[in-house]
């Protein structure tokens, strides 16, 4: 009977070619723990490459439109379209890098056109996220991610090809950017779904908090690579990252195991024993994929996913949380370079370097939020608390960040912690939790859809925030920070019902423990 069962099991496996080759050379199966390590590493570099290609646009802007803005000591005279693009470097050295610009972006409407590219990219990305999640729960995520990464690389490179092809048609770049945004939308719901398949709820917040550092590292990598390539022609700043994500996409296709069931791995294959009394038991208690019913499960519908308890509040919360986070992403270097610190205006290079501290704080915040939520067993309480703490920090940064460089650094670092902490928590651990909610009764085919709903809604806020900031900053930066503080407050309030529920649950658990302790043991006869 044993021989008749093995072929049936083997047919259901979908091992990536790379893993099959490694096991052939090794002449033994890869352990469950090794599979999980591969998942973390491959998805980490996959989404790092997504963000690296996304960041190149801000670097290339200075080459496409190198005109000097009409800098005035009063910030009220900046139009949103001028400030939306990064301010270029000046002097003979910078002109060697930037040249005379690139038509049609080097004219009087150049920065306005660049702003249109940004907004178009973000809105297509946000809209595409909903469809990507819906499709991701119905297809092989390894194939889907590969297509998304290769497509992203293709259209990122095609933007750069305009340099050698001498293309000066605005709609060419607009269409290419929109298609790049569409393929970019495949990334997040897919990688979160894959990681969620391999890691149970226990310590998921901490693991995903550390894993989520790929976002900030991707931004840094994209900036460095694009800046280094700029001197050879702005086309290289787009093509090299485009080729990079294509290469990583091929590696992903060869090695990414989508789920334990897809490769025939289980917790008792290697380092974790299925029947062990240690922590492995807690992982098994909340399975993310049921091997017995995998083939019979039907993917959860879009509207059905919205009805999962917690999805709507967290999605709306992320709208406002991401509005704050992306406003800093697009505007922080500009704000720093146009705000005197200790009576001195920083150069673009200094402002850009200083702004990275926000990302460093964001990495720490994501890890802290994940770890705290794991310890408390309360995602909503953690996310809401971070958003509330962001309000006074934003106030202090606006009003006292200019006093000294040290104070600016400290306040910016803490702003990154409290702004990016809940953003990272919601888009990772919370999305994975809700994608495997108990109301689904074990159905695993909702991870990508739920992740797409939450992050897609947040991405709309990411597009709205910078756009509103452009208009408001023309009148007052204090008004911009007021908007951000109000957004943080709303984000926290949207989780009130979930916070009350978690607090009630904690109180009940505490009472039950006290009752169990006070109850005397039964007398032995």
Residues 257 and 15 sit within 8 Å (Cβ to Cβ)? yes
When pLDDT is averaged across residues 488-513 and rounded to a whole number, the result is 89
Q: Both ends of the chain: CA-CA distance in Å?
A: 50
Asked if residue 177 has pLDDT above 90, the reply is: yes
Q: Enumerate domains of the chain plus CATH numbers.
A: 30-66+101-266 (1.20.1250.20), 299-510 (1.20.1250.20)
φ, ψ for residue 166 (rounded to 5)? 60, 45
From residue 422, alpha-carbon distances to 60, 153, 195, 241 in Å are 30, 30, 19, 29
DSSP code for 472: H
φ, ψ for residue 344 (rounded to 5)? -130, 135
- Tens of pLDDT along 63-76? 787 654 433 333 33
When pLDDT is averaged across residues 187-213 and rounded to a whole number, the result is 78
CB atoms within 10 A of CB 503: 13
- Tens of pLDDT along 81-113? 333 333 333 333 333 344 577 888 877 776 677
From residue 219, alpha-carbon distances to 24, 340, 417, 493 in Å are 37, 26, 17, 30
Residues 362 and 420 sit within 8 Å (Cβ to Cβ)? yes
At residue 238, the pLDDT reads 94
Torsion of CA 152, 156, 157, 162, to 10 degrees: 140
pTM exceeds 0.75, yes or no:
no
CB atoms within 10 A of CB 296: 8
Q: How far apart are CA 331 and CA 203, in angstroms?
A: 34
User: Which of 10-19, 271-280, 314-323, 327-336 tops mean pLDDT?
Assistant: 314-323
Q: How far apart are CA 67 and CA 89, in angstroms?
A: 10
- Tens of pLDDT along 364-377? 998 999 889 888 88
- Of the pLDDT bands very low, low, confident and very high (cuts 50, 70, 90), residue 203 is low
At residue 281, the pLDDT reads 36
Q: How far apart are CA 388 and CA 370, in angstroms?
A: 17
């Amino acid at each position: 009977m044993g021989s008749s069962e093995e072929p049936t099991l083997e047919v259901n496996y979908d091992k990536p070619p790379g893993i099959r080759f490694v096991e052939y050379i090794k002449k033994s199966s890869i352990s469950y723990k090794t599979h999980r390590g591969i998942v973390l590493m491959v998805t980490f570099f996959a989404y790092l490459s997504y963000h690296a290609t996304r960041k190149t646009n801000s670097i290339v802007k200075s080459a496409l439109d190198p005109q000097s803005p009409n800098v005035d000591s009063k910030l009220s005279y900046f139009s949103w379209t001028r400030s939306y693009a990064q301010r270029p470097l000046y002097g003979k050295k910078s002109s060697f890098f930037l040249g005379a610009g690139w038509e049609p972006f080097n004219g009087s409407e150049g920065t306005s056109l660049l702003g249109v590219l940004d907004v178009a990219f973000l809105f297509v990305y946000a809209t595409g996220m909903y469809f990507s999640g819906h499709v991701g729960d119905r297809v092989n995520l390894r194939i889907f991610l590969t297509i998304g990464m290769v497509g992203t690389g293709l259209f990122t490179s095609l933007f750069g090809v305009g340099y050698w092809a001498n293309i000066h048609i605005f709609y060419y770049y607009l269409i290419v950017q929109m298609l790049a945004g569409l393929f970019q939308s495949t990334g997040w719901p897919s990688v979160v779904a894959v990681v969620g398949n391999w890691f149970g709820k226990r310590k998921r917040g901490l693991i995903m908090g550390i894993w989520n550092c790929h976002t900030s590292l991707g931004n840094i990598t994209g900036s460095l690579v694009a800046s280094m390539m700029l001197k050879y022609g702005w086309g290289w700043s787009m093509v090299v990252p485009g080729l990079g994500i294509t290469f990583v996409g091929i590696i992903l296709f060869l090695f990414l195991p989508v789920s334990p069931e897809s490769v025939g791995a289980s917790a008792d294959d290697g380092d974790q024993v299925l029947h062990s009394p240690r922590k492995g038991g807690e992982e098994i208690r909340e399975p993310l994929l049921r091997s017995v019913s995998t083939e019979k499960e039907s993917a959860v519908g879009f509207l059905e996913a919205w009805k999962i308890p917690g999805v709507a509040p967290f999605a709306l919360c992320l709208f406002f949380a991401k509005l704050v986070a992306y406003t800093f992403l697009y505007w922080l270097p500009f704000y720093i370079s146009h705000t005197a610190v200790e009576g001195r205006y920083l150069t673009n290079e200094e402002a850009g370097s200083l702004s990275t501290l926000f990302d460093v704080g964001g990495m720490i915040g994501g890890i802290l939020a994940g770890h705290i939520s794991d310890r408390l067993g309360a995602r909503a309480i953690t996310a809401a608390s971070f958003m509330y703490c962001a309000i006074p920090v934003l106030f202090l940064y606006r009003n006292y960040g200019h006093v000294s460089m040290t104070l600016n650094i400290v306040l910016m670092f803490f702003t990154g912690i409290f702004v990016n902490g809940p953003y990272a928590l919601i888009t990772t651990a919370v999305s994975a939790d809700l994608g495997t909610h108990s109301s689904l009764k074990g159905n695993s085919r909702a991870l990508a859809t739920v992740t797409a709903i939450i992050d897609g809604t947040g991405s709309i806020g990411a597009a709205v925030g910078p756009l509103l900031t452009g208009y408001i900053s023309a009148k007052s930066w204090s008004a911009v920070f007021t908007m951000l503080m109000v957004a943080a407050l709303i984000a926290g309030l949207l989780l009130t019902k979930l916070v009350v529920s978690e607090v009630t649950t904690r109180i009940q658990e505490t009472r039950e423990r006290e009752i169990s302790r006070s109850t005397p043991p039964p007398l032995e006869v």
